[in-house]
């Protein structure tokens, strides 16, 4: 398991969860913890890295040395380390080799590696900052690496590496080659933004570097651009996400499959392109080189080199032709050839895909990983079956035929829709499985789900080369799991199902809906190449109408009425060799629920029959012998206690005395509408009363506090002066901010003279009247009341100062 500090044995596992044929594999025993020491964590944190997330040991390299030993490397808190893991005892041998150049420092950096004859070929970064990318070979005899120069590698993002063996029967006696795939920033063009270019590069296995020039550096390193575009639609896929090289004895040459996405992927597009190995070799062995050039006022920085090419050809492996010229090793190559390949590592010719276009283009999906299997059909033809994973945890299975590609099925591998980071194919005979890995676990999946096709037509129209229809068992089987192939098996990758003996069964489903509701009619087809056609009363339904909405696996009908009742058929139509093949996938019978008005005695309520416990929320009371049908096909009879033959007029007049009788829903009115009407009246009345009382309370409070002007203040003044003992308040007068009403006892005394101000202590706000009570006089009180009533806002206040020593004027 990569990306953690725990190493799990891949040979011992148990099944935890099984969902159909998907198996979630949990590796439990044995396990090994390869952790980082606290000292290295501290040093890593001192360099500005996170001690909790980055300063750990993330396993990045897992390559088999032999059947019993794995070569493993980890980031080790930004100090890469490598070791040997014994699969028998599941213990590290403690070699603690320096992982610099074999494993990235940062777990977030891109990397790739492949083990070739005990030597590790890797593409990663060589320093702490990740600013020095290299492609290297870690060997005790002749370690090699790329030149640290922008023309060689310019901010690459490595995705895949693999070795392709030379043909031992070839007369050229060529060398084995290791291919690297990555996306890097363009050196040919220079724009304001970064232009990314997908690349393929290769080195020779027997390369030993140069004697004077390119010492301990690759002398066979060349790189070229991978083309994956659609010229007619002007779509350019220039980000490569993963690569799989299909090697099969039945193939004349290996085929390279790549998954691409556009750099500005606003539409969510993904593409799969295929390349012949011969096309790649022609570019490296016969193509033109590029050279750096300064072109004024131009974005072009590299142009084609048209000069003389030295011999032997720069970047070529040591083959029979080179040995004939007495160049037995790369150490014997002349400096002119080595200097040329050092300055011209980029090829001018590009690698074009098979058919000059992508094999598959898919919208609204991002492909992450790819594996390819080659399958022999019943007719002996070979087909390439492609499995591509998505960033949503799904798996797409496609087949390549007739210069095109057809997606057979889509499988959701991870229920939480997390990206698939690793995808492997086990091609053992009779045990072909797919293994998908994510950040949470590993899933084992079969390569085919043939048993999900229940009819011969569905099995044939799937066009799955793994599946065939077994007539005498009436089942769709996986031909790879069978010991012998029988003659009565039916399979046609072209999709011709005319040889199927059985007829397509029509699934008839009964539906009962209420007036004004919405109906959902489901239809699930097995073939991804078929077109869904809906028919209503044997006529093609116009689903473009606003009344209908066509979903992926269903049809919605809105606002049902009497005219919508009838038979709906879902047909799967498909053209096979200019012949139209049609079959009924689903059949729906739609009926509207009719609610009849009931006539019941207002005195005696309806009596429910014994045992009838399933009563709808709002139901009618039919006459004797009638039935009430629910939304399903089950019919529940409801009878009444007696039959009413009197006119309905008197019954309506006495409805208030017995309201339970008239709970029936009027015809044409939805049940939900009646429910809202009966409950919303009480709610509206309650809300109205609540807000009315709240309004009165707020109005009274603001009027009492004097926040409202004019009429309300006059009313407040009259109310306050009507009291016998009003409360004095001179604080507003002291602050000269507010005006207050004059207290009755502070206007005049009985003699008509102004009262003598009390001794000012600086804290008093009320006049000193002995016991604190204000003296009253009926005559004076009535006169003061009259004056205040006439002029409620003419307030006469005497200001007192805290620093005044005078006893009066």
- The pLDDT tens digits for 501-517 are 755 555 578 788 888 88
pLDDT, greater one: 579 or 1: 579
Phi, psi of 533 (to 5 degrees): -130, 125
Summarize the confidence of residues 584-603 as an average pLDDT: 65
CA distances from 39 to 51, 423, 492 (A): 11, 36, 65
Q: What are the pLDDT digits (tens) for 720-776?
A: 655 444 444 444 444 444 444 444 444 444 444 444 444 444 444 444 444 444 444
| 569 vs 571: CA distance, rounded Å | 6
* 431 confidence band (pLDDT: 50, 70, 90): confident
Residue 572 reports pLDDT greater than 80:
no
The whole-number average pLDDT for the span 340-359 is 94
Backbone dihedral region for residue 503 (phi beyond 0: left; psi -120 to 50: alpha; all else: beta): beta
DSSP string, 714-783: HHHHHHHHTSSSPPP--HHHHHTS---PPPGGGS--TTSPPPPPPPP-SS--S---TTTPPP--HHHHHH
- 381 by Cβ neighbours in 10 Å (0-12 / 13-18 / 19+) ranks as exposed
| DSSP, res 608 | P
pLDDT surpassing 50 at residue 601:
no
Sequence ranges of the domains in the chain: 146-360, 365-490, 508-592, 713-790
**Whether pLDDT at 332 is above 50:** yes
Cβ 574 vs Cβ 495: under 8 Å: yes
pLDDT of residue 246: 94
Q: Give residue 115's pLDDT.
A: 94
Residues sharing a CB contact under 8 Å with residue 298, sequence separation 6 or more, in sequence order: none
Q: Which residue has the higher pLDDT, 30 or 116?
A: 116
Question: Given this model, what pLDDT does residue 660 score?
Answer: 37
What tens digit of pLDDT does each residue of 195-235 get?
Answer: 999 999 999 999 999 999 999 999 999 999 999 998 888 88
Strand order in the sheet with 367-376: 367-376, 382-390, 394-401, 404-412
Distance CA 704, CA 710 (A): 13
Whole-number pLDDT of residue 576? 61
- Residues 383, 399 contacting (CB under 8 angstroms): yes
Tell me the per-residue pLDDT of 734-748, one tens digit each, with 9 for 90 and over.
444 444 444 444 444
- Among 788, 770, 798, 794, smallest CA distance to 726 is for 788
Q: Determine the average pLDDT of the residues in 560-573.
A: 81
Confidence (pLDDT) at 124: 94
For residues 341 and 202, give the distance between their C-alpha atoms in angstroms, rounded to a whole number: 13
* CB proximity list for 35: less than 8 A, separation 6 or greater: 5, 56, 57
355: left (phi over 0), alpha (psi -120 to 50) or beta: left
Spatial separation of the C-alpha atoms in residues 84 and 577, rounded to whole Å: 57
Q: Which fold has domain 146-360?
A: Methylamine Dehydrogenase; Chain H (2.130.10)
| Interstrand relation of 222-226 and 346-351 (parallel, antiparallel or unpaired) | parallel
CATH of region 508-592, choose from 3.40.640.10, 2.60.40.10, 3.40.50.300, 3.30.1490.100 = 2.60.40.10
pLDDT of residue 772: 42
**In the prediction, which pLDDT does 516 show?**
82
Amino acid 604: pLDDT: 44
pLDDT by residue (tens digit) across 30-89? 788 888 999 999 999 999 999 899 999 999 999 999 889 999 999 999 999 999 999 888
How far apart, in Å, are the Cα atoms of 66 and each of 83, 111, 116, 119, 483? 14, 22, 11, 12, 32
Instruction: Report whether pLDDT(264) > 50.
Output: yes
Listed residue (438, 481, 473) closest to 456, CA to CA: 473
């Amino acid at each position: 398991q990569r990306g953690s500090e725990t190493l799990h044995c891949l040979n011992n596992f148990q099944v935890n969860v099984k969902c159909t044929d998907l198996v979630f594999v949990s590796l439990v025993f044995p396990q090994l913890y390869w952790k980082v020491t606290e000292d290295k964590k501290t040093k890593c944190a001192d360099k500005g890295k996170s001690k909790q997330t980055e300063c750990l040991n993330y396993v990045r390299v897992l390559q088999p040395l032999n059947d019993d030993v794995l070569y493993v490397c980890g980031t080790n808190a930004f100090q890469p380390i490598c070791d040997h893991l014994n699969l028998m005892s599941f213990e590290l041998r403690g070699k603690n080799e320096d992982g610099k150049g074999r494993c990235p420092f940062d777990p977030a950096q891109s990397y790739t590696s492949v083990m070739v004859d005990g030597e590790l070929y890797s593409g990663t970064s060589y320093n702490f900052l990740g600013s020095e990318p290299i492609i290297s070979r870690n060997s005790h005899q002749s370690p090699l690496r790329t030149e640290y120069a922008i023309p060689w590698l310019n901010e690459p993002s490595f995705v895949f590496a693999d070795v392709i063996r030379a043909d031992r029967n070839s007369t050229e006696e060529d060398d084995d080659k290791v291919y690297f795939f990555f996306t890097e920033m363009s050196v040919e063009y220079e724009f304001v933004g970064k232009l990314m270019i997908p690349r393929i590069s290769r080195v020779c296995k027997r390369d030993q570097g140069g004697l004077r020039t390119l010492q301990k550096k690759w002398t066979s390193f060349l790189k070229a651009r991978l083309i994956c575009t659609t010229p007619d639609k002007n779509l350019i896929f220039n980000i490569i996400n993963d690569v799989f090289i299909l090697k099969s004895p039945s193939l004349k040459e290996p085929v390279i499959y790549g998954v691409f996405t556009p750099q500005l992927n606003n539409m969510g597009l993904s593409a799969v392109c295929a390349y012949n190995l011969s096309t790649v070799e022609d570019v490296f062995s016969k193509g033109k080189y590029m050279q750096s050039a300064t072109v004024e006022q131009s974005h072009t920085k590299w142009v084609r080199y048209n000069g003389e090419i030295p011999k032997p050809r720069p970047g070529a492996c040591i083959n029979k032709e080179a040995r004939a010229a007495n160049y037995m090793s790369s150490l014997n190559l002349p400096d002119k050839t080595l200097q040329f390949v050092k300055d011209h590592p980029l090829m001018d010719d590009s690698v074009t895909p098979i058919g000059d276009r992508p094999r598959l283009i898919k919208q609204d999906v991002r492909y992450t990983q790819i594996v390819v299997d080659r399958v022999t059909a019943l007719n002996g033809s070979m087909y390439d079956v492609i499995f591509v994973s998505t960033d949503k945890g799904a798996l797409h299975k496609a087949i390549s035929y007739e210069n095109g590609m057809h997606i057979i099925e889509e499988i959701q591998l991870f229920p939480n829709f997390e990206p698939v980071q690793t995808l492997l194919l086990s091609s053992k005979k009779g045990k072909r499985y797919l293994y998908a890995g994510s950040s949470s676990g590993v899933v084992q999946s079969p390569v085919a789900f043939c048993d999900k096709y229940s009819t011969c037509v569905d099995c044939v129209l799937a066009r799955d080369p793994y599946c065939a229809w077994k007539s005498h068992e009436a089942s769709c089987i996986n031909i790879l799991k069978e010991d012998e192939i029988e003659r009565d098996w039916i399979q046609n990758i072209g999709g011709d199902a005319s040889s199927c003996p059985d007829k397509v069964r029509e699934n008839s489903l009964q539906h009962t809906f209420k007036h004004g509701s919405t109906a959902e009619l489901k239809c699930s087809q097995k073939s991804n190449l078929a077109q869904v056609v809906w028919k209503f009363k044997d006529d093609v339904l116009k689903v473009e109408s606003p009344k209908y909405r066509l979903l992926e696996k269903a049809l919605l009908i809105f606002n049902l009425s009497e005219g919508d009742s009838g038979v709906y058929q879902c047909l799967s139509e498909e053209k096979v060799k200019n012949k139209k093949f049609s079959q009924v996938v689903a059949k729906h019978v739609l009926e509207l629920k009719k609610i009849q008005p009931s006539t019941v005695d207002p005195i005696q309520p309806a009596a429910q029959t014994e045992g009838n416990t399933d009563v709808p929320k709002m139901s009618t009371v039919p006459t004797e012998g009638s039935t009430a049908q629910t939304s399903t096909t089950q019919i529940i009879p409801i009878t009444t206690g007696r039959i009413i033959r009197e006119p309905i007029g008197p019954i309506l007049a006495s409805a208030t005395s017995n309201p339970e009788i008239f709970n029936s829903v009027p015809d044409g009115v939805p049940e939900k509408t009646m429910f809202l009407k009966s409950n919303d009246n009480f709610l509206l009345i309650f809300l109205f009363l609540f807000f009315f009382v709240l309004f009165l309370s707020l109005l009274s409070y603001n009027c009492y506090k004097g926040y409202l002007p004019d009429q309300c203040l006059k009313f407040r003044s009259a109310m306050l002066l009507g009291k016998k003992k009003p409360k004095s308040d001179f604080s507003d007068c002291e602050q000269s901010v507010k005006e207050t009403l004059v207290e009755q006892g502070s206007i005049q005394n009985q003699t008509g003279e102004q009262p003598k101000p009390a001794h000012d202590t600086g804290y008093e706000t009320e006049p000193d009247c002995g016991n604190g009570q204000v003296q009253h006089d009926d005559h004076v009180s009535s006169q003061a009341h009259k004056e205040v009533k006439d002029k409620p806002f003419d307030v006469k206040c005497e200001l007192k100062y805290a620093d005044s020593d005078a006893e009066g004027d």
